[in-house]
Structure 1
Amino acid sequence: MKFVIIGGDAAGMSAAMQIVRNSSGNEITTLEKGTIYSYGQCGLPYTFTNQVESTDDLIARTPETFKNKYGIDTKILHEVTRVDYEEKVVHGTNLKTNESFQESYDRLLVATGASPVFPPWDGKDLEGIFTLKTIPDAQDIKAFLGKDIENITIIGGGYIGLEMAESMAEIGKNVQIIERGNQLAKIFDEEMAELIHDEGKNQNLTLTFEESVEGFKGTNQVEAVVTNKGEHKTDLVLVAVGVAPNTSFMNGTGAYKTYNDALIVNHYMQTNIKDIYAAGDCATQYHRIKEKDDYIPLGTHANKQGQIAGVNMIDQPRTFKGVVGSSIIKFFSLTLGRTGLSEKEAQSLSIPYETITIQSTHAAGYYSKEDKMTLKLVFNKESRLLLGGQIIGGAGVDKRIDVLATALYHQMKVDELQDLDLSYAPPYNGVWDPLQQAARKT
């Protein structure tokens, strides 16, 4: 059987390796628009501070490794432009030769990820305006930073915006974040976001809210960001306003998509088109708490969905169990963790809910007063089922958010948190964990 995989990163190569490891006698061809396979996109912000010394350190395996060690036909600079699902042929362009190519398949996996959204603002082609998604993106930004750049403007306050704000500040740049809404990190509720704002201000970031970008000014190089309320002088701009799935080449196939063009898949990673699968940032993820398809593009999901797509493509059925919406971000001295539904999401879904918010510490109170955390739980006021939680603080946030994610996965009630046998020693916890402290107050 011949398998064709479009996309050479997390989802695509996870699927390819599952096919290699769990079957034999098959032909696997991967088509990658760029030149780099299997790299850690989430590590890109940390290459600017040398926390990660080189972008090369982010590459897990090269195309040559996949080809020579595992027998996968890894093609680079091959951009797919159309899929003929009736003839089972992929059409595209070889970007190196500018010639067209065709690749037939028995089963096809779409694992093309997502690309940064870049609105059609005036002046968007000026030098010094960037997005960050790939290793070449990071290399381009680094090269430009060498031009005596002092003032950085980041448009958007999501994952990339926050992480890059921290990195740019740490290397001595003046950083401004422009957000068209009224808060950074919209995945958090407003009162929790205030903790993020306070940290940003304490780190000398300039936070500009409720301004919409309209364009850029400059001669050849960007000199100012123009918003609906004025102009902001700058030397470099990073646009980080979100991503969109790379699925336009699937137009005309009849594949079902969401409002943002993500391919809709079932628990086996199958699209509605026979023998076409999809996984990762170009596909939907089933949300266990919302009980419906969602779009949460993260590397953890891409790797899991890729593995599951791979075994299903070789008729070894396995289902994707879904996500609960867990994520974590480092922002200077804070760790920002969340999982499940926010209060805003519970409201939008018309779920009857209650919340409890407490302040606690990572360690026993008599051992250390440091590493404070603010913890918020959201739960169904009628059934008492946990719906979600947000934790912002220092050490220990990651531990609690993962416990909470596990509790959500297993549909625990808020009261049952008190029954968990969690590890305790004064340097790490109080007799009652912060999660249990919150549960006791509900």
Structure 2
Amino acid sequence: MKYVIIGGDASGMSAAMQITRGSEDSNEIITLERGQYYSYGQCGLPYVISGQVESTEDVIARPVEVFREKYGIDARIHHNVTEIDEKKQMVKGIETISGKPFQIEYDKLLIATGVSPVQPDWEGIKLDGILSMKDIPDTKEILNYIDHHQPETVTIAGGGFIGLELAENFKEIGKNVRIIQRSNQLMNPIDYDMAELIHKEAEEKGVELIFEESVQSFSGDHHVNAVVTDQNKYPTDMVLINVGVKPNTELVSRADFHLGSKGEMIVNSYMETNIPNIYAAGDCASHYNRVKQLNDFVPLGTTANKQGMIAGMNMVGQHRAFQGIVGTSILKFLDLDIGRTGLSEKETKQLNIPYDTVKVETNAIAGYYKKGQKITVKIVYEKQSKRLLGGQVIGVKGVDKRIDVLATALYHNMTTEQLLNLDLSYAPPYNGVWDPIQQAARKTL
């Protein structure tokens, strides 16, 4: 059996490792990566800017040589797949270093091509100093620009996850940071009343926030010197673009493959596409949302690894279904931790679900143990049944604990009363006698 995997990062290599464990030695596994790096933690890259992670090499989990020498995987680099011939069961592409074409037949194929940053068609976007962060080469380019040009003011276009992480790490190295956001808030996946806590933190720490303005163009001779929006012009020495990502699915035919609204490949719970013997997993694939009971697109490393493992198991006949996501994420921004899971109030409205919300601000730990450990919890629940629909938690301590409890409750379709009945841990350094999420749950009864 010949297994071919397009993509050498989280989902692709999770699948490859699962295939090596579950298949015979005579089987052939070929992985095709268009870059030069395999299996690395993209989420750690913003912290290389500030030196909290010392080097881009530190985020590499396994170098390509390990896959080749230890596991017998034919792991190739600089192999860009440009076409899939599903009738002949063959992939075609270009070796980007030599420029030579290649074609490889397969018995089973996994598409694990991930996502790329959206690059808007803004005038002047090709000027030096306008960069994005997605992979190791991007990060090295940013570090090189900082070293050679010593920018004082950095403008970030987009206030999502990566935008806030970049803002924090540029502040860490003493830069003036500005975020320009087209909407009226940072972190669009959470509700505005919770986002206000993030805005306050940004302003207190000296991050300039520009809302409800759209970037139009950039000015400068060779290097960027200003960002032009639909309302103002802002001097800057460097720009980071963070306005979203798109699935890398250009290599598949829209006429043949089922794709979602964002361009993601639609898969079933076994990671199968609508084409026989072709699977997809990770950031380029759909993610079934257990709360929405619909396919969703929430590209995260945790999901990519799970889907890759499950794809690999199914490719070798070990039937295992992906159980779906509930939309859980967490982010550190300056001195705040920001967590969310399930549906926001905005999403619940869009789905026409009758709902109500509760929000509490309280102590993350026993109030007498340490002062100032405040935490804000918002839960969204179905009005009649009291079924939990989602939660958002922001604070300086204990956010991860609370958001994971809420995620577990969502996975098991729990009500707010059942949430209140949970036997959660307590000691003054960690909690009060009533956990903050249970304080919120009490207000729903």
Task: Report the TM-score range of the alignment, normalised by the length of the smaller protein.
Answer: over 0.9
In the alignment, which residue of structure 2 is the partner of 1:325? 327
In the alignment, which residue of structure 2 is the partner of 1:15? 15
In the alignment, which residue of structure 2 is the partner of 1:113? 114
Letter in 1 for 2:75: T
CA distance in structure 2 between the partners assigned to 1:180 and 1:431 by the alignment: 42
In the alignment, which residue of structure 2 is the partner of 1:272? 274
Of 207, 219, 223, which aligns to 2:221? 219
Letter in 1 for 2:128: E
In the alignment, which residue of structure 2 is the partner of 1:34? 35
Q: How far has the Cα of 1:56 moved from its partner?
A: 0.2
Letter in 2 for 1:128: G
Aligned pairs (5 A) from 1:369-380? 369-380=371-382
TM-score normalised by length of structure 1: 0.99
Q: How far has the Cα of 1:370 moved from its partner?
A: 2.0
Question: Are residue 348 (structure 1) and residue 350 (structure 2) matched?
Answer: yes
Letter in 2 for 1:85: E
Q: Extract unaligned runs of 5+ from structure 2.
A: none
In the alignment, which residue of structure 2 is the partner of 1:197? 199
Letter in 2 for 1:60: A
Letter in 1 for 2:15: A
Conservation of the 8 A alpha-carbon contact between 1:20 and 1:70 = yes
Conservation of the 8 A alpha-carbon contact between 1:154 and 1:175 = yes
Question: Are residue 171 (structure 1) and residue 173 (structure 2) matched?
Answer: yes
Residue aligned with 2:92, SS: strand
Q: How far has the Cα of 1:97 moved from its partner?
A: 0.5
In the alignment, which residue of structure 2 is the partner of 1:67? 68
Cα offsets for 1:145-164 (capped at 9, x unmatched): 11121010000000000000
TM-score normalised by length of structure 2: 0.99
Aligned pairs (5 A) from 1:85-104? 85-104=86-105
Q: How far has the Cα of 1:253 moved from its partner?
A: 5.9
Residue aligned with 2:46, SS: helix
In the alignment, which residue of structure 2 is the partner of 1:403? 405
CA distance in structure 2 between the partners assigned to 1:401 and 1:364 by the alignment: 19
Percentage identity across paired residues of the two chains: 57
Letter in 2 for 1:290: K
Cα offsets for 1:405-429 (capped at 9, x unmatched): 0000000001111110111111111
CA distance in structure 2 between the partners assigned to 1:204 and 1:278 by the alignment: 43
CA distance in structure 2 between the partners assigned to 1:169 and 1:402 by the alignment: 29
Letter in 1 for 2:429: P
Residue aligned with 1:182, SS: coil
Conservation of the 8 A alpha-carbon contact between 1:85 and 1:253 = no
Q: How far has the Cα of 1:440 moved from its partner?
A: 0.8
Cα offsets for 1:8-57 (capped at 9, x unmatched): 00000000000001111210000000000000000001111111111100
CA distance in structure 1 between the partners assigned to 2:234 and 2:87 by the alignment: 52
Q: How far has the Cα of 1:389 moved from its partner?
A: 0.4
Tell me how large the CA RMSD over aligned residues is. Answer: 0.7
CA distance in structure 1 between the partners assigned to 2:94 and 2:146 by the alignment: 33
Residue aligned with 2:251, SS: helix
Q: How many residues are aligned here?
A: 442
Give 4+ residue runs of structure 1 displaced > 6 Å after superposition. none
Residue aligned with 1:139, SS: helix
CA distance in structure 2 between the partners assigned to 1:336 and 1:252 by the alignment: 37
Q: How far has the Cα of 1:371 moved from its partner?
A: 1.4
CA distance in structure 1 between the partners assigned to 2:170 and 2:125 by the alignment: 21
CA distance in structure 2 between the partners assigned to 1:61 and 1:422 by the alignment: 37
Residue aligned with 1:48, SS: helix
Letter in 2 for 1:229: Q
Q: Extract unaligned runs of 5+ from structure 1.
A: none
Q: How far has the Cα of 1:369 moved from its partner?
A: 2.8
Residue aligned with 2:50, SS: coil
CA distance in structure 2 between the partners assigned to 1:82 and 1:332 by the alignment: 43
CA distance in structure 1 between the partners assigned to 2:383 and 2:155 by the alignment: 42
CA distance in structure 2 between the partners assigned to 1:421 and 1:440 by the alignment: 14
Residue aligned with 2:88, SS: coil
CA distance in structure 2 between the partners assigned to 1:417 and 1:148 by the alignment: 51
